[in-house]
């Protein structure tokens, strides 16, 4: 009997495992919920931050020449890629991980900009990445536009002022779980966080086929290719996006073996010299750069020091 009693009192191995597993699993669940709550709180906090911006006045010219220049800028500097060909809004990202991100309607139609939207509001949004309420705009690449010359800023606003009204509700801006995690942990930062607003110096470089003007044109490339144009993972893109190409002469990239004619043809046709198609993530609108811009951009890229892919 005693031996049987001892055998009966012996704990089953499965019971011991259960006693260890259940509390451990519960602890993981609680930790996961807490971490998810922190992600929501911290990402909301970053998106809700209010920036006190003093917006410098920019003269907005009238006339067909200024409007034409503004249209050229809107087409070749990325505006139409996020806001649509008519600038009445478009879906930029629709992905379970990154969320649903739409560029808003920039026309004066129903669902677009209000009638009292001022020139200073345009400057605040374009140059500073901040809306009228003082909050940072999500995925607005204002780091690319912060040093846009006053002449080009004025021309761009002149174009936006005369857009045909399109009645179209602006789509949602709903960051997904990955986007919120990147925001909360600081791996994805709003342009408004990056820009030193009080120190912005608009460019004064004159259009010319040289490296100085090429650096100015290349500012529109940095959002995807990085500040030193070495390419790599695009932080704002969904996981399915390929890395941005390395535009430096490092062996990781392709441009070291290209000629100027190859480069221009690639932008114009969206095909590499070997005939392969460039990723659709690369906007075809850059093919609309004029001859001076193309030559200047190439001249600037030739001055870049070689950097390994992704070394931003």
Q: At which of 160, 176, 203 does a domain end?
A: 203
What is the tens place of the pLDDT at every residue in 211-244? 999 999 999 999 999 999 999 999 888 888 999 9
Looking at residue 16, its pLDDT comes to 60
CA distance 231 to 224: 7
Share of the chain above pLDDT 70, in %: 90
Count how many domains the chain has: 2
pLDDT confidence bin for 21, thresholds 50/70/90: low
Percent helix, percent strand, percent coil in the chain, to nearest 5: 45, 5, 45
Looking at residue 121, its pLDDT comes to 98
Q: At which of 203, 232, 254 does a domain end?
A: 203
* 282-286: average pLDDT: 95
Q: At which of 168, 203, 238 does a domain end?
A: 203
For the chain, count helices (H), then strands (E).
13, 3
Are 66 and 183 part of one and the same domain? Answer: yes
* 116-124: average pLDDT: 98
Q: Of 22 and 240, which is predicted with more confidence?
A: 240
CA distance 197 to 126: 12
- Give me the DSSP letters along 81-128: HHH-TTSS-EEEEEETTTEEEEEPP-SSSTTS--TT--HHHHHHHHHH
Are 243 and 168 part of one and the same domain? Answer: no
Is 27's pLDDT higher than 70? Answer: no
Are 227 and 176 part of one and the same domain? Answer: no
What is the tens place of the pLDDT at every residue in 157-179? 999 999 999 999 999 999 999 99
Q: What is the phi/psi pair of residue 117, to 5°?
A: -70, 115
Question: 250 with 230: CB under 8 angstroms?
Answer: yes
* 104-132: average pLDDT: 98
Looking at residue 5, its pLDDT comes to 46
Least Cα distance to 304 among 243, 214, 232, 224 occurs for 214
CA distance 298 to 119: 33
In a domain, 28, yes or no: no
Looking at residue 191, its pLDDT comes to 96
Beta 173-175 vs 99-103: how paired, if at all? antiparallel
- Residue 254 contacts by C-beta under 8 Å, 6 or more apart in sequence? 245, 246, 272
Looking at residue 76, its pLDDT comes to 97
Beta-ladder partners of 103 = 90
Per-residue b or e along 217-251, where b marks 16 or more CB atoms closer than 10 Å to that residue's CB: bbbbbbbbbbeebbbbebebbbeebebbbbbbbbe
In a domain, 130, yes or no: yes
In a domain, 5, yes or no: no
CA distance 302 to 63: 37
In a domain, 116, yes or no: yes
Is 61's pLDDT higher than 90? Answer: yes
Between helix 211-218 and helix 291-301 the angle, nearest 10°, is: 100
Looking at residue 45, its pLDDT comes to 94
Q: What is the pTM of this model?
A: 0.87
pLDDT confidence bin for 11, thresholds 50/70/90: low
CA distance 129 to 103: 13
Are 219 and 191 part of one and the same domain? Answer: no
Are 155 and 67 part of one and the same domain? Answer: yes
Is 4's pLDDT higher than 80? Answer: no
**Cα dihedral across residues 95, 101, 107, 112: positive or negative:** positive
Are 216 and 311 part of one and the same domain? Answer: yes
State the CATH number of the domain containing residue 304.
1.10.760.10
Are 119 and 221 part of one and the same domain? Answer: no
Range(s) of the domain holding residue 302: 205-312
pLDDT confidence bin for 1, thresholds 50/70/90: very low
Round the average pLDDT of the chain to a whole number and report it.
Answer: 91
Which has the minimum average pLDDT: 45-49, 150-154, 250-254, 257-261?
A: 250-254
């Amino acid at each position: 009997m005693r031996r049987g009693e001892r055998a009966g009192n012996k704990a089953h191995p499965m019971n011991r495992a259960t006693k260890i597993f259940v509390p451990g699993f519960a602890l993981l669940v609680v930790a996961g919920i807490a971490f998810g709550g922190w992600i929501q709180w911290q990402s909301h906090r970053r998106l809700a931050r209010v920036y006190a911006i003093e917006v410098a006045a920019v003269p907005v010219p009238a006339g067909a020449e200024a409007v034409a220049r503004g249209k050229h800028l809107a087409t070749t500097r990325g505006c139409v890629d996020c806001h649509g060909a008519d600038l009445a809004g478009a879906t930029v990202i629709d992905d379970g991980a990154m969320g649903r991100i739409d560029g808003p309607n920039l026309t004066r139609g129903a669902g677009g900009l209000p009638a009292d939207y001022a020139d200073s509001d345009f400057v605040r949004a374009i140059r500073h990445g901040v809306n009228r309420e003082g909050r940072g705009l999500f995925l607005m690449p204002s780091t690319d536009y912060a040093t846009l010359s006053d002449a080009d800023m004025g021309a761009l606003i002149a174009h936006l002022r005369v857009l045909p009204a399109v009645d179209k509700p602006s789509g949602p801006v709903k960051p997904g779980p990955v986007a919120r995690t990147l925001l909360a942990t600081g791996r994805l930062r709003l342009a408004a966080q990056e820009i030193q607003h009080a120190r912005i110096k608009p460019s004064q470089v004159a259009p010319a086929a040289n490296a100085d003007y090429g650096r100015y044109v290349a500012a529109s490339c940095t959002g995807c290719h990085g500040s030193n144009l070495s390419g790599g993972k695009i932080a704002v893109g969904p996981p399915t996006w390929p890395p941005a190409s390395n535009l430096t002469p490092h062996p990781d990239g392709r441009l070291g073996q290209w000629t100027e004619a190859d480069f221009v043809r690639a932008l114009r046709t969206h095909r590499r010299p070997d005939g392969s198609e460039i990723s659709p993530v690369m906007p075809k609108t850059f093919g609309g750069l004029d001859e001076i811009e193309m030559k200047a951009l190439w001249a600037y890229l030739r001055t870049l020091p070689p950097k390994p892919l992704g070394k931003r």
